[in-house]
Structure 1
Amino acid sequence: MKYVLAIASLVLAPTLWAGNANLLPLIKVTARVDAGCHVGMELPDLTPLNGGLSRLFKGGFTIGDPLPRRWRTMLNELEFNLTCYDKDDPDADGAPTNYSGARYEKSKKIWVKDLERWFNSWNPTPEERVIGDKATRVVNIQAANSRGYVQLTDDTTGEEGGRRRNMSFCLFHPPKALCGYGTVAYLADGPKGDLTPYALEMIRSIEFLNDVATEAAGK
């Protein structure tokens, strides 16, 4: 798969997301998002919908500013922070902190929801545990040449109009793991304003490029 430098230029790819109702053209980009993680990914070109630019850069990626009106979201942009870890780093099991709701089940080789580490950090009541469990989902994800998990967590406190759906993820490609975090929806926007499907497609497109293992071995 051929990529271009994210900052230097943008080239429209002849591919489209599977199930992409808007048939958005995709931009293939690369960047060294953090030490040891040189990656490529596909971002949607929003200019046909009067949206802002899509960028992959050191430390994250963003689309929008603004996002298309037809997406019916109060978010101005979809932005994810990205951090590269050694695959065995404890923080890689909890993107972006140790308070992740995901745990790797070695016998089944999948990630499962496990909120005990998070609950232990703030000692919730039994009722708060039930609410927190209902507000959190963990799914396994396969990217171009890595796999990992995605965690979705809905805000359960604060003004209802300001509550958000947050997404965190980690993709494992030994010797590295790439983890990210961003907001994908205002809950008040409802399903039509939820950008989770777009975020998942972008994460699935992430590819670790060949020099990652070489860089790590040379350290």
Structure 2
Amino acid sequence: MLNKAILFLIVASFIYAVHANEFKENSNKINYETLDMGKSCKIRFIISANFKYQIGNGGNPKNNVGGITIYPIPNAWKSNMDTLTLSFSCKEKNYIDNPQPSGIYDKKLERWKKAPKELRNYLKQSQDYSDPDFLNSTIAAMRVYDIKTPNAQGWADTSDQLTGDDAGRTRYMSFCIYHASKALCGLGKVGLLRDGPRGDLVPHALKILRSIEFLE
């Protein structure tokens, strides 16, 4: 049992070092920030020291909420969005209002992945997706990402706004990261579709999420 614990610590340290190196590619300095969202919900994450950002928990950790906002968006990100904000809510895993994944967990591969068939069956239950073309476009645009952190695992998915004014169509992200009995879930706007791949903020959001470490 002790050997397994030592092995876990070695692997966790390696993962954390890898994520730290991701930030060093674009910055000589990184910050390790902590965010307290209540019992068993204190986290640490990595963010470039070059960014201007704010973190907070609403002034009361017992509310189990928090977030990070990067403002302004770095010019190098080529985005027309003003900010990147990720909101957090830390609840029990079985909390009924936690976001539901768009993908499935592959036990053999030990990772979350997209499952178009299951997603189609789920969306068809809603009148919003009664149009087959809109349903197909929604599923095609959706992406599912596996999230592995130093001591947790979860998923993130993105969905695109396919209707409305072209200039304002947005890409949205939802996510949940599981640690022990807790689920750290949240939402964020991660791009304007008109910015194309160069202005996509998904990679930057994923870097932050994959650096999250639960401290208790």
Question: Structure 2 length normalisation: TM-score?
Answer: 0.76
Where does residue 178 of structure 2 map in the other structure? 172
Q: Distance in 1 between matches of 2:123 and 2:28?
A: 38
SS in 1 for 2:139: helix
How far off its partner does 1:19 sit? 6.9
Q: Distance in 1 between matches of 2:37 and 2:50?
A: 22
How far off its partner does 1:162 sit? 0.6
Where does residue 103 of structure 1 map in the other structure? 104
Residue 71 in structure 1 maps to residue 77 in structure 2: yes
1:155–1:66 distance in 2 versus 1, CA, 3 Å: same
1:173-216 residue CA offsets vs partner (Å, 9 max, x unmatched): 12111111101111111111111111111000111112xxxxxx
Q: Distance in 1 between matches of 2:90 and 2:123?
A: 22
Where does residue 187 of structure 1 map in the other structure? 193
4+ residue stretches of structure 1 with deviation over 4 A? 105-109
How far off its partner does 1:106 sit? 5.1
Do the aligned residues in 2 keep the contact of 1:42 with 1:206 (CA within 8 Å)? yes
> Percent of pairs identical after alignment?
31
Aligned residues: 188
Question: Structure 1 length normalisation: TM-score?
Answer: 0.75
Q: Distance in 2 between matches of 1:106 and 1:91?
A: 24
Where does residue 33 of structure 1 map in the other structure? 37
Q: Distance in 1 between matches of 2:24 and 2:170?
A: 24
Where does residue 121 of structure 1 map in the other structure? 126
1:16-40 residue CA offsets vs partner (Å, 9 max, x unmatched): 5427542252211112235641111
The 5 A counterparts of 1:16-165 are: 16-18=20-22, 21-23=25-27, 25-33=29-37, 36-47=40-51, 52-58=52-58, 59-92=65-98, 95=99, 98=100, 100-105=101-106, 109-113=110-114, 114-115=118-119, 116-122=121-127, 123-165=129-171
Whose helix proportion is higher, 1 or 2?
2
What runs of 5+ residues in structure 1 fail to find an aligned partner?
Answer: 2-14, 211-219
Q: Distance in 1 between matches of 2:44 and 2:88?
A: 13
Q: Distance in 1 between matches of 2:79 and 2:189?
A: 12
- Highest RCO, 1 vs 2 (Cα 8 Å, sep ≥ 6): 2
What runs of 5+ residues in structure 2 fail to find an aligned partner?
Answer: 1-8, 10-18, 59-64
1:128-187 residue CA offsets vs partner (Å, 9 max, x unmatched): 211111110112110111001110111111111111111111111121111111011111
SS in 1 for 2:175: strand
Q: How well do the aligned residues superpose, as a CA RMSD in angstroms? A: 2.5
How far off its partner does 1:63 sit? 3.6
1:32-78 residue CA offsets vs partner (Å, 9 max, x unmatched): 2356411111122235xxxx324253533324321222322111111
